[in-house]
Amino acid sequence: MREYLKFYIDGQWVDPATPKTADVINPATEEVSGRISLASVADVEKAVAAAHRAFARWSQTTREQRLDLLQAIQAEYAKREREIGEAITEEMGAPASLGGGFHIGLGGGHIATAIEVLKTFKFEERRGNTLLTKDPIGVCALITPWNWPMNQIAVKVLPALATGNTMVLKPPQLAPYSAQIFAEVLDKAGVPKGVFNMLQGSGAVVGAALSAHPRVDLVSITGSEAVGVEIAKAAAPTVKRVCQELGGKSAFIVLDDANFAANVAGATGGMMLNSGQTCSAGSRLLVPKARMAEAIAAAKEAAAAVTVGDPKGNVAMGPVVSKSQYNEVQRYIEIGIREGAELVAGGPGRPEGLSKGYFCKPTVFANVRNDMTIAREEIFGPVLVIIGYDDIDHAIEIANDSDFGLAGYVNGADAAACLAVARRLRTGWVSINGGFDFMAPFGGIKRSGNGREWGEHGFHEYVETKSLIEPAPAA
């Protein structure tokens, strides 16, 4: 049983202003795995005040001082990787191979990327008689989700630190354990008091108070569209910067070529990764109508190969994160059936042999229309919809016919043809034939949010441009 009952404020582990706790449920067992304290508005005030005090000194540190801290964090993170991976498996149900693999690798990758970017980031640039400086924005509220906990914490905290900001992190209430260990990593690495602060608690209390706080200069939120909207509303009266990475309903376009079946299978397996709980997941699989039967066969076989069960075992897919998430996935599956989509794999209920835990079946619908609910709304579970297209222009039209614009995927044997399709997708990030890059800016357009994270572009979210204009040289 884990108990994390203190907050990290001003370089110390402190008791909450008002004692209040919440149970944390293991989604694989439906049993209580631990308790956390829930922060109040009074705790928010303490954390923001600490960050505000620390900003004057931390914002004036040198590149070398910040590099030293980031490298110390990297060393401490490496020591705790196994523990963090185990925590992720316990808190949100990622299989051990995923929690201790890609989940951990994403966190470490963002730490390494921040170090490399900081080495050469241009904090000053001379243009004529004007010196342009990139100054830290101030106190940052960082609100992170439960689905990729280390990815989203590292991709916010490290750039904020590297650019001279101070911060208050609010990790997800559903997945609080890995964040607690990450805070211990920063403490052990020697982060100066007040520079990094962390409060556990609910978004309705902590997130709302941080968003509205007059001494918070930036809010970076990764979460649902509904939460992003509420945070933007709360932040508006103080005209603070709000960076949002929200939902997605991304298209995965498979081109008509010899690699077709393998690409369909890969897209299906990829959709089931992390139990489908990925904002950038390729949840709309677009295939040529003439090859729909082949697509169904390949997707059905791939879905059947996804093993589901105890995430501590050798499985490909664990549970979804909570009972409410399980119920939401089931609701969408029922909607798809009612709307007349062809159910070719999975379906309602738990997989056979699993009577407990929030386990869903890897589910595939085919012959889906793009106006169906399951093609329009983000399900955030292991549910793939297959939509047929007439030609490439039609595929691009379907892909762009979405309220979201976070990610996209194009797979095919002809690299030039894939790139041509990718250029026409109205989305912030496109992976071509499995391409991946920690330095590539990540973020969305339309209702998927604004701003960019990852790599150098992630640094720009945390700085303000200032013009220092000197007299022009005498003629």
- Known catalytic residues are 245, 279
User: Rounded to 5 degrees, what angle do the CA atoms 432, 435, 439 make?
Assistant: 125
Buried b (16+ CB within 10 A) or exposed e, 289-328: eebbeebbebbbebbeebebbbbeeebbbbbbbbeebbee
What is the rounded distance in angstroms from the CA atom of residue 421 to the CA atom of residue 412? 10
Q: What share of the chain is helix, strand, coil (3-state, %, to 5)?
A: 40, 20, 35
What does the DSSP 8-state code read for residue 470?
P
Identify each DSSP E strand in 251-380 by its residue range: 251-254, 284-288, 342-345, 363-366
3-state secondary structure of 69: helix
Residue holding tokens 């016919």?
Answer: 401
Could you please report the per-residue DSSP string of 154-196?
A: HHHHHHHHHTT-EEEEE--SSS-HHHHHHHHHHHHHTPPTTTE
CB distance 350 to 254 below 8 Å? no
Give CA 228 to chain center in angstroms.
13
Burial class (CB in 10 A: 0-12, 13-18, 19+), 280: buried
What is the rounded distance in angstroms from the CA atom of residue 211 to the CA atom of residue 218? 8
Q: What is the dihedral of CA 34, 281, 460, 55, to 10 degrees?
A: -10
List phi, psi (to 5°) of 7: -105, 155
Q: How many CA atoms within 13 Å lie on the side-chain side of 35?
A: 8
